[in-house]
Amino acid sequence: MQKNYILALDSGTVKNRATIFDQQGEMVSYAEKKISVTAPCADWVEQDADEIWSTQLWTAREAIRLANISHQEIAAVAITNQRETTVVWNRYTGRPVYSAISWQSCQTAQICEQLRQEGLQEEIRQKTSLIINPYFSGTKIRWILDNVAGARDLAEKGDLVFGTIDTWLMWKLSGGAIFATDYSNASRSMLFHLKHLQWDEELLEHFHIPKCMMPEVHPSSYVYGMTDPACLGSAIPIAACIGNQQADLFGQACFDKGQAKNSYGEGSFFLMNAGHKFNHSQNGLITTIAWGIGDEVTYALEGSIFVSGATLEWLHRGLGILSSMSDSEWIAKQVPDTDNVYFVPAFRGLSAPYWDMRTTGMIIGLKERTEKAHIIRAALCALAYQVRDVYEAVCSDIDVEIQDLRVDGGASQNNFLLQFQADMLGIPIIRPYITETTSLGAAYLAGLATKVWKDVDALRDLWHEGVRFTPQMDEEHRRALYDGWQNAVDKVLGWPD
């Protein structure tokens, strides 16, 4: 039986997805299921690792059923995942010792402060290109070992293992036979040396994490092993593993240095292909590993924006002035501008390029005549302004010109937002024909590993432009609006003092 299909599993923050692609890169079927997110304390965000696994398995089986194909026709399984979310489990029982700590959680802030006081920021930056921040998985491992009764003793005996969601899913899919991750996910831990491509023993010692907990690390396009037939019906190669934002960069066909994408999801993530040479950002960005194929590693410059679509969710559920997320577009168009209202949604502090986690959100410029349409429009504009902040930092870091920006994610369906984004950056914004680009990127990498596609050049023609938004705003107006945004950010940065 011919193996013509790739099954891509995309484990996100609020839902799990499974998509089957054919050899032309076209979607054959799609299934999704929501997953729970809990907040046991203020600023804590946690999930149930077993629920993540069970919902992901359900979506995989459902996608196969909807495609009306046999599992024997699947050439490979690809995995892409929410990146820094951390699971620690017992290697013998397979049971997590604690909830999965989300990438969004700030419960490790005290550990981060301790690491800063120990003077480790520069060593961590030099080796990993990351800043000390609760965002990354290293401090989450440390927190579990410090706070779960008996966990440290079990870890030091070799009984406990760590993984981000990709590692957890591969472990479960393989019946415990695969304990591994890829370069892109490892590079988000504060424990992985970006040049040496291995776990750094000195950093592990600083974090008080036993090395035996850490998974093997391989390229993103790589045959990791086989699925347990009990999961999907037969043994299928797991041939790709990659963090979701890096998978999206690959799925958007940003194969060349200087090509960039932005995803508008719960957060917003701007990544630019930085080529094969490792360089530190000088402007508040992160250098991360985009992917590894064979012996070649590609790096990316990344600006992570912690609150993007979550802004609209707050207007809907928190403030109650937005009936649904999709209503934001037509309501924003009811007014010609924001009437100089600015909304800085720093609910979880300000991330790239500011990295000030003390700040809180602010709406500024309110007047008696301010209507809800002004606030909703200001919220959408804020999504674009934050991307402009990262874009400016990227342009200061690199010696190539970004020709356009490829976009996806839930809010990318908002045409007002994308037109304003084009106006703010002064370059075209392109929404692709297939918007499930995260799953598509993982599928491409699995197809390369299993020879479904010959090489990266064979993938270039599979990406198709959907809608293009070109700048329509003059430079003077653009500068005035962005100056107002920067003034508003200055007020927010000064608020804690």
Alpha-carbon separation of residue 124 from 11, 119, 363 (angstroms): 28, 10, 35
Average pLDDT over residues 385-413: 91
- Using one digit for the tens of pLDDT, what is the confidence trace for 96-139? 999 999 998 999 999 999 999 999 999 999 999 998 999 899 99
Query: What's the total number of domains in the chain?
Result: 2
- pLDDT score for 142: 97
Average pLDDT over residues 377-393: 95
- pLDDT score for 10: 96
- pLDDT score for 497: 60
Q: Which domain, by its residues, includes 12? A: 5-245
Cβ(19)–Cβ(438) below 8 Å: no
The CATH number of residue 329's host domain is: 3.30.420.40
Residue 440 counted as domain residue: no
pLDDT level of residue 162 (50, 70, 90 thresholds): very high
Tell me how far apart the alpha carbons of residues 263 and 387 are, in angstroms, rounded to a whole number. 10
DSSP 401-453: ----EEEESGGGG-HHHHHHHHHHHTS-EEEES---HHHHHHHHHHHHHTTSS
346/314 same-domain check: yes
DSSP 265: S
Average pLDDT over residues 349-373: 90
pLDDT level of residue 310 (50, 70, 90 thresholds): confident
Amino acid at 469: F
Alpha-carbon separation of residue 50 from 46, 53, 55, 88, 246 (angstroms): 12, 5, 9, 12, 25
72/137 same-domain check: yes
Of 408, 420, 416, the C-alpha closest to 466 is: 408
In which element (H, E) is residue 6 found?
Answer: strand 5-11
Model confidence at 44: pLDDT above 90: yes
Quick count: other Cβ atoms within 10 Å of Cβ 244? 27
Q: What percent of the chain has pLDDT over 70?
A: 99
Quick count: other Cβ atoms within 10 Å of Cβ 258? 16
Quick count: other Cβ atoms within 10 Å of Cβ 486? 13
The full length of the chain comes to: 497
- Using one digit for the tens of pLDDT, what is the confidence trace for 322-346? 888 889 999 999 999 999 999 999 8
341/479 same-domain check: yes
481/347 same-domain check: yes
- pLDDT score for 1: 58
pTM for the predicted model, two decimal places: 0.91
Residue 272 counted as domain residue: yes
Residue 443 counted as domain residue: no
Mean pLDDT of the chain: 93
341/298 same-domain check: yes
- Using one digit for the tens of pLDDT, what is the confidence trace for 177-230? 999 999 999 999 999 999 999 999 999 999 999 999 999 999 999 999 999 999
Tell me how far apart the alpha carbons of residues 400 and 277 are, in angstroms, rounded to a whole number. 14
Model confidence at 433: pLDDT above 80: yes
- Using one digit for the tens of pLDDT, what is the confidence trace for 444-479? 999 999 999 999 998 998 888 999 999 999 999 999
- Using one digit for the tens of pLDDT, what is the confidence trace for 224-270? 999 999 999 999 999 999 999 999 999 999 999 999 999 998 889 99
Final residue in a domain of this structure, among 218, 245, 272: 245
Here the tokens at position 434 are 């297939």
- Using one digit for the tens of pLDDT, what is the confidence trace for 7-20? 999 999 889 999 99
